[in-house]
Amino acid sequence: MILPKSNLKVKVPPIKIQGIKTKLIPFIACSIKWDGKGTWIEPFMGSGAVGFNIAPERALFSDNNPYLIKFYKDLQDSKFDSQDVREYLISEGEKLSRTPEGADSYYYDVRDRFNKTHDSLDFLFLQRSNFNGMIRFGPHGYNVPFGRKPNRFRPALITKICNQIDWVKYQMQTHDWDFKVCDWKDSLANSTEDDFVYLDPPYIGRSTKYFGSWTDADANDLAFYVNQNLLGGYALSMWYKNKYRTNEHLDLWNGTMLTNEHFYYLGGKEQNRNSVVEALVIKDGYLANQN
């Protein structure tokens, strides 16, 4: 299999998440050389944006966030489709629009309900109306606040989300893809020399919370495990440097490092956006011709 080149037309999946790699997908896709004989393994799938666009024939998508995986498994198992999503968002969006932006927003009713039932459509609703598409859980469950704009679920947005659902569903139906809730180590345990692993762990040294914690020790453990045990290829996404410092953790990784500058959004205002250089470390033998 030849991975798509930089003219790949990137599509966005229905679930948003902080750290989504949408803008880096052409860079990632055209930097990797892999014959596609084995399985594409994505142990930190998040939104799934990278693998869904690269579209390998066989893939294992996993994450330790059970609700992300449940959402995609429910879609794969036809527990809902884009028509269900449309009807749900019209009706729930209408209820949201009738409430104010603050603590009395209908958003918080859906959030309470989600924390009891873990319904996939409620998860979608929260991810498309919360603050900045964040995913964050605390001791009492999902705790991201409302992102304002009670009338956000307008027909155009609902259609956009339904098209995203149809695209991912089509990809699932036409490829051999598996979705699994597990720690990264479990998804790598049976990997073979034919497989390719795309690693996009939470960034070291940032207090980004997803489902659980991610410590410096976890990041180092991942690097040691991959260096010692991984038989096939891999690519790692990680921050390389910002205007204050360079990421020394990258010294633990073997391979070739490519970089690509992009903007890291720290706040709504232009002056709060810090430029971060992103690294892609690729195991020797898996780097595409850079001409």
* Interacting residues toward ligand SAM by CB under 6 A: 17, 19-21, 43-44, 46-47, 49-50, 63-65, 183-184, 200-202, 210-212, 214
> How buried is 262 (Cβ within 10 angstroms: 0-12 exposed, 13-18 middle, 19+ buried)?
middle
Judged by beta carbon, residue 211 or residue 264, the one nearer ligand SAM is 211
Shortest distance (Å) from residue 77 CB to ligand SAM: 21
Nearer to ligand SAM, 142 or 210 (CB): 210
Closest distance between ligand SAM and the C-beta of residue 185, in Å? 8
Closer of 6 and 78 to ligand SAM (Cβ): 6
Q: What is the CA radius of gyration of the chain?
A: 19
CB of 146 to ligand SAM, least distance (A): 21
Q: Are 31 and 5 in contact (CB under 8 A)?
A: no
Q: Judged by CB, which is closer to ligand SAM: 138, or 269?
A: 138
Of 155 and 212, nearer to ligand SAM (C-beta) is: 212
Nearer to ligand SAM, 106 or 210 (CB): 210
Q: How far is the CB of 63 from ligand SAM (least distance, A)?
A: 5
Q: What residues does 263 pair with on adjacent strands?
A: 275
d(CA 110, CA 212): 22
Instruction: Round to whole Å and give the CA distance between 207 and 19.
Output: 12
Q: How far apart are CA 217 and CA 220, in angstroms?
A: 5
DSSP state of 132: T
Cα 42 to Cα 157: distance, rounded to the nearest angstrom? 28
Nearest distance in Å: CB 76, ligand SAM: 18
Distance in Å, CB of 73 to ligand SAM, minimum: 15
- Find residue 276's DSSP bridge partners: 262
Under 8 Å CB-to-CB from 206, ≥6 apart: which residues? 239
Q: Tell me the three state secondary structure of residue 17.
A: coil
Chain residue whose CB lies nearest ligand SAM: 46
Q: How far apart are CA 52 and CA 31, in angstroms?
A: 17
Closer residue to ligand SAM (CB): 162 or 204: 204
Shortest approach of ligand SAM to residue 97 CB, angstroms?
28
